[in-house]
Chain A
């Protein structure tokens, strides 16, 4: 398996890390974990859903290494029969010791991968090792699946990958273009530039906001971009989409192809996975589930909700952008940029009251039904009846390039902060009102509704499909990789 990524949310890490390092510096400690997971032909994404910490006496505290007592393992195994999640273990190595599996670890993993398969069937069995070396947490892991071990290739903590030893080897760092990112390195440190080079960032929507965000991330030296958009470039996009030209319109090129060529022109060493498609199509989710961070750059409500589901299911932070420009008779009276930081533990877009279900229904209808309903609404109006039951006209959102580029810059900055660990955006929702006097900036916290579905899907991966809010309509075209 090419990519095996483990995502750990901030709330889970705040439970896991103090426990694992509680016997530092000399002794190890461990816990069982539940993981949501998603497997494709060449990748596996795992999200830590729950730390099932040991009760008193369930680990042998008389020895420095990890020794599970049988009641602990049996308790976990019996629980596993009642849920669909992967079950695995995380343990620490003593301070300054590398996270390379020892012969004791090999015995433990060999035993438990076999033991648990009797309770979990063909679910993966992940085993993770963490240690602290030179003041930094580093890790490694492996996953037993389909009769063999697969090394974990990346461990990502709330957007920031920790140095991950792979199959006993030190992390492979992609070469960075030192001169190009000299100013960034100067400000945030060389480590930040390296983290960006080794990162994978998803951008959903490659239009007015997505295109400049992609450019900023490419120029910052991000090593792998995953770009998703279903549309082709048209004339009305040329005012905003960076890298798009008249010739692209004439050739009916997809926005993803335009982004790919623009990125190649900036830095041909960047890997770009381009998908002409939509979320949550499975091939798209497979790719996004490997990302450190995802930027949401669409104005479709179903996309925003689906992205929020991905953020929660796979514990991947999402920065979602929204731009509004309002005015009449040539006078602009509102220019607003809004960013949402969607992550495990925070309120979702439903909790925040940002979802119009009827609008989502209209967005997801097939074109024939949309047309039929529009006509039915028109006829109802002509009869003097309420057209609301048939169709609500969606306002055309107008915007301009300077505003979408400003929004993209802020969103890309948030992603860079998360990936490098150099700074935190510090908000859950922020709004800038441009060209007001003075320019207004608001940030606020919103409470999660404890009854909302979002509280039930954190870290569940592809499991619990009955909880999925946005499902792919049958009329959507298949995803095309470019």
Chain B
């Protein structure tokens, strides 16, 4: 894991007012994005949510993939891949469920390129995902 690179990426998000942090003390290293907007409000679902994204082994050569919401989040059953549990993570004192969300592998986003993409650009994918609610 390139901690220096991830911190640089998250720093660029923080400059724009986004709260995101690298958690290395979790059951696996993750990036936690706080208060990410969703399209849930008109459906009486949370308008924002915290999201975790696992740091892949060998990052950045290994592509970023998946996304996790707090276990029990009402959004999970309404989001693409949310019902397909891809593992559980303990981070930030909470339990999280990883959804089957693969934006860089034919999942709606561009093919992964570590020279273009990172945890700063992944936020765009997350926001798009959280606005496509069934």
Contact = CB atoms under 8 A, between A and B. Distances in A.
Given A388-B106, A389-B107, A453 B115 contact: yes
B87 A372 contact: yes
B61 A389 contact: no
Contacts, number: 82
A147 interface: no
A357 B104 CA distance: 10
A350 B115 contact: yes
Given A388-B105, A389-B100, A389-B102, A302 B2 contact: no
Interface stretch (B15-23, B30-38, B51-59, B70-78): B51-59
Interface string A353-379: 000011011011110010010001000
A376 B100 contact: yes
A203 to B, nearest CB: 22
Chain B contact residues: over half helix, strand or loop, or mixed?
Answer: loop
A350 B112 CA distance: 13
A465 B62 contact: no
Interface residues of A, number: 32
A280 B65 CA distance: 23
Contacts of A62: none
A386 B105 CA distance: 10
B86 A474 contact: no
A467 B115 CA distance: 10
B: contact size bracket:
20 to 34
Contacts of B2: 465-466, 468, 471
Contacts of B113: 357
A243 B52 CA distance: 49
A455 to B, nearest CB: 11
A471 B115 contact: no
Contacts of A350: 115
B48 to A, nearest CB: 26
A361 B65 contact: yes
B57 A475 contact: yes
Contacts of B60: 469, 471
Given A305-B61, A473-B58, A466 B105 contact: no
Interface of A: 302, 305, 350, 357-358, 360-361, 363-366, 369, 372, 376, 386, 388-390, 451-453, 465-475
22 contacts: A357-B113, A358-B112, A360-B58, A360-B62, A361-B58, A361-B61, A364-B57, A365-B62, A366-B57, A369-B57, A388-B105, A389-B102, A389-B106, A390-B100, A390-B102, A451-B115, A465-B5, A471-B1, A471-B59, A472-B58, A473-B57, A474-B1
